[in-house]
Structure 1
Amino acid sequence: MRFTDKVAVVTGANSGIGRATAVRLLAEGATVYAADLRHTEPWPESGAGQLHTVELDVADPNAPERLADRLREEAGGVDVLANVAGVLHIAPFLEVQRGDWDRVLAVNLTGVFFLSQAVARIMVERGTEGRIVNVSSVHAVVSEPNAAPYTATKGGLEAMTRTLASELAPHGITVNCVRPGATRTGMSAPIYTPQIVRSLQAKIPLGKIAPPEWVASAICYLASDEACYTTGASLDVDGGYAMDGSLPGTAYS
């Protein structure tokens, strides 16, 4: 019950890591504003917290202020923002179009910036020692061929996180990243062919692809008071993928 009497916003909440995060926060007592383009999946009826669904496109320039107005009116403030919404465009670098690039940046980076700004303003107004948690990717530090716009946004997100953490620290607001590795979500499902799954299982030291709930646990830790002395950090939740330099199936003798 770490989030009793807390108000949390989760983007990308209709599925995957966003859905798992919202469900976990609800179970631990939060009032959750679950935001997504649309809500197509039923929500669990049980939970200690209260659920409010929000139809929101994080790429819409007007969305942050609309959400901020609703939070001020209905909740009186906000304690947690989990920026989970994201999009992935697969194409060779030489074939990426301007529209593809613009859409990925609008959702994965620009939208995160301005939604964080709108929520942080409420935190500062209310004197709330809030928590902002961004969802990066192992591919912020490890290349992912055919996903240049995506990797650019995740690298930028981590750099931005550190700067926001520095600026908001005087207000007692922490800003951190979770850096997931291979995770089974609606976004990853089309590219996780049997061959890709076998390769990932061979590459990942712990040998598993994560369900969204494992990543949600890390997000909720950084969103809780247990992480009150952590800011500007990126927490790997990748089964050891990024740190491992071994050669699968071989060893030096």
Structure 2
Amino acid sequence: MPGSFVYRQTNKMQPLKDKVAVVFAASGDIAGAVARSFSDQGAKVYVTARNLDAVKALARELKAEAARVDAMKETEIDHFLQKVVADNGKLDVVFNGIGVSYNDMGGRPPTTQATFEQFMSPMEKLCGSQFLTSRVAARYMMETGSEGTILLLTAALSRSKIPNLAGITAASAAIEGMTRVMAAEFGGNGIKVICICSGALMETKRISGWIESVANQYGIPVEQIVSQYKAFDILKTVPTLKQLGDTAAFLASETGVAFNSHIVDVDCGKLNIL
């Protein structure tokens, strides 16, 4: 019937229609792009950050609900997701876009000089936060039978050999390992767990800040650092924030089930990444 055809077409155009999605650390460029794609694909979106003012504009743009949540505090995560479930009866998608700044790691000290606190800082903030948001979300998905999707975020450093980055490299690899374990644990409840592994997105404030900090610390021109990174590109193009956001929306859709437990690279291909 014509009506049913229109309905199928609409759902195809918006594969996340009627889904309830929560984006943590949404004040960042990557999480903001993911929230936009979720909304574009039909999801009801909630955006959170430690700084509520930082996500209010995004919430207005998407007609989403904004909340102050520290993604490193389990109690705050739990209280917020409890409210989301109470309001909607389910939780379909969770994405955590937390990142670390150059200063968070104390710069790029050699392993022989880095303090234990400097080494552990990315592990606690990145891997620790992903652990907390994922496991709390899984509990609510199990309670409500949501059979949802948990999307984690890591960096291509997990499979790189760049000196003076032991802490964040270890944290990135740990997130990927944790993804596979949680997928195995939660799969029996119909929950899929996927990790997006992003290359350096030059258009983000975090990456541009990193490059400037490295340039200042080592006295290297910014252009030289960018050129060295791009020398390993397979294609003459690099991924955009929108492409990463759209990839996240695809992975959260029914079709994305094919990628359960996988680490999905978003870098257009790099010669120096396994």
Normalised by the size of structure 2, how large is the TM-score?
0.81
Q: 2:28: which partner in 1? A: 15
Using the TM superposition, give the Cα deviation of residue 183 of structure 1 relative to its aligned residue in structure 2, in angstroms: 0.8
Match of 2:122 in 1: 104
The aligned counterpart of 1:116 is 134
2:75 matches 1:56: no
**Greater helix share, 1 or 2?**
2
Q: Over aligned residues, Cα RMSD in angstroms? A: 2.0
CA distance in 2, matches of 1:244, 1:142: 6
Q: 1:243 to 1:222 in 2, by over 3 A?
A: farther
Q: How does 1:209-220 map to 2 (within 5 A)?
A: 209-220=238-249
- Count of equivalent residues: 243
- Report how far residue 8 of structure 1 moved: 0.5
Instruction: Show CA shifts across 1:109-135 (max 9, x none).
Output: 111112111111111111111001111
1:91 match: 108
- Further displaced range: 75-84 or 205-214: 205-214
Deviation by residue 1:30-64 (Cα, 9 ceiling, x = unmatched): 111112122436227565xx411122221224222
Question: Does 1:190 pair with 2:203?
Answer: no
> Kindly tell me: are residues 201 and 243 of structure 1, through their superposed partners in 2, closer, same or farther at Cα, counting changes over 3 Å?
closer
Where does the alignment leave 5 or more consecutive residues of structure 1 unmatched?
A: 246-253
Which structure 1 residue ranges, 4+ long, deviate > 4 Å from structure 2?
Answer: 44-47, 242-245
Q: Which residue in the other structure is 2:195 paired with?
A: 177
Shift of 1:76: 2.3
**Structure 2 SS opposite 1:235:** strand
Deviation at 1:24, TM superposition (A): 0.9
Q: Runs of 5+ in structure 2 lacking a partner?
A: 1-13, 212-221
Correspondent of 2:45 among 12, 32, 35: 32
Post-superposition Cα deviations, 1:179-203, rounded to whole Å, max 9, x if no partner, equal 1112121211123322111122222
Q: Is the 8 A contact 1:182 1:209 kept in 2?
A: no
Query: Percent same amino acid among aligned pairs?
Result: 26
Residues 74, 101 of structure 1: alpha-carbon distance in 2 compared, 3 angstrom cutoff:
farther
The one-letter code of the counterpart of 1:190 is: G
CA distance in structure 1 between the aligned counterparts of 2:273 and 2:81, rounded to whole angstroms: 42
Change (3 A) 1:44 1:121: closer
2:98 partner letter: A
Partner of 1:249: none
Q: Structure 1's 60 and 190: CA in aligned 2 closer, same or farther, altered over 3 A?
A: same
1:197-226 deviations in Å (ceiling 9; x for gaps): 112222211234432222112211111111
Change (3 A) 1:74 1:169: same
Aligned pair in 2 of structure 1 residues 99, 59: CA closer, same or farther (>3 Å)? farther
Distance (Å, rounded) in 1 between the aligned partners of 2:261 and 2:123: 21
- Letter paired with 1:8: A
Structure 1 residue corresponding to 2:267, chosen from 238, 241, 244: 238
Aligned equivalents of 1:161 and 1:81: distance in 2? 13
Indicate the structure (1 or 2) with the bigger Cα radius of gyration: 2
Cα distance between partner residues in 2 of 1:2 and 1:202: 36
